[in-house]
Amino acid sequence: LAGNENGAIHQLEYRISRLEGVLRLNKMITESGGKIFATNGKRADFDATVEKCKEAGGSIATPRNPGENDAILYFVKYFNTYAYLGIKQSLIPGQFQLLNGARLSYTNWYSNEPSGQGEE
């Protein structure tokens, strides 16, 4: 039975890698540091985006290092649009935090941003 389990696992890994390849070709996923970043390429508001990510078994992207930031930027450039992030303004104006309230450990803001004016 152990041999059958190994065969089934190998078959699943093969199918997953083929699906990931197709999604990469269609510019729907990218990877950084073992994390997969994905999009359906459709526009939605912030709340709908958060919900779709949960439905897919993931969470809205929150860059925690330059590589993850680049993975998100990949979609922004490819789809020529903006991306929502899992970051919100804290109770202290000008301070930001993760959606769960934790402190940000990585930021990559442009100078004088975020300003609260238009696109950030």
What does the alpha-carbon distance between residue 66 and residue 106 come to, in Å, rounded to a whole number? 8
* Architecture of the domain spanning 31-98: Roll (3.10)
Mean per-residue pLDDT over the chain, rounded: 88
Please choose, from the candidates 25, 3, 37, the residue with its C-alpha nearest in 3D space to the C-alpha of residue 11.
3
Domain range annotation of the chain: 31-98
* Neighbouring C-beta atoms of residue 96, cutoff 10 Å: 15
pLDDT of residue 3: 66
Residue 95 has pLDDT above 80, yes or no: yes
pTM of this prediction exceeds 0.75? yes
Query: pLDDT tens digit string along 23-73?
Result: 887 788 999 998 999 998 889 999 999 999 999 889 999 999 999 999 999
